[in-house]
Amino acid sequence: MGDFLRSRRARIRPEDAGFASGAGLRRVPGLRREELAHLAGVSVDYYVRLEQGRNRGVSDAVLGAVADALRLDQDERDHLFRLARPETSRGAAAGEDAVRPEVWRLLDWISAPALVMGRRMDVLAWNGPVCALITDFGRLPPRERNLVRLHLLDPEIGRRYPDVDTIAREAVGHLRIAAGTHPDDPELWELVEEVCARSEEFRRHWARHTVRTKAYGVKRVEHPEAGPLTLTYEVTRFPQDAELSLLVYTAERGSAEEAALRDFAKG
């Protein structure tokens, strides 16, 4: 929580918040703690305690005031509240055996590439078309069925995705939210440490505390058989399976990408 608050405080220029820039007198970028405390309407000592992680009993009103002072967007604001009140993990995250048979059946009925992933972006269920698009997940050991590892650490699959920085930023945004919700998840931190050590792009965005909920977007793929593809994707959650997300790739009607996805569905 302290690192997150400091990173957001550092990005606000003093003059934009009504303070003199004090060129040459500031040792760190952005607002001073006392300036942020003033904007949030709390004492400097109280704000210092927040940056030190001593946030037990902090009220919604104070968190909201700090979020306003830091000019947080909605994703960042939600993240701040999660950091202030982390959940205690109830055992391991949902695994493959936790994906209901009905969900597997749903994937079989979806003709577009689709998969189900857990909070660490582990691929827990999939259909045939998504295997044709990305890889045959059934042939991979469970630990390697992870979109972050596949996109950023696997050389063969990684070279298919030219927008590496975007993929890294979106992965960090997702995992930062998961870490704020489940800070005591050892497998999550093992994943973060591994990818930070091996991916410069991921390491850079992780250091920036990038937080973003990405529910839809565009992904470019250099497919070894279908050629260059520009696909759209949608992510949605299962209301009764909060740890699971459904990811579906689609294409514009009448496009070459649509034809490629239909070929993937034929097997």
DSSP-derived letter for residue 222 is E
Q: Could you give all domains of the chain from N- to C-terminal order, each with its CATH number? A: 2-84 (1.10.260.40), 96-266 (3.30.450.180)
What was the pLDDT predicted at 91?
A: 43
Between CA 85 and CA 179 the distance in angstroms is 12
The continuous run of DSSP H or E covering 36 comes out as: helix 33-40
Q: Quick one: the chain helix, strand, coil %, rounded to 5?
A: 50, 15, 35
Write the pLDDT tens digit of every residue in 22-55: 655 667 788 989 999 999 999 999 999 898 888 7
What was the pLDDT predicted at 242?
A: 78
Higher pLDDT, 96 or 84: 84
DSSP-derived letter for residue 96 is G
128 contacts: CB under 8 Å, gap ≥ 6: 264, 265, 267
Write the pLDDT tens digit of every residue in 118-173: 999 999 999 999 999 999 999 999 999 999 999 999 999 999 999 999 999 999 99
Under the banding of pLDDT at 50, 70 and 90, the label for residue 232 is very high
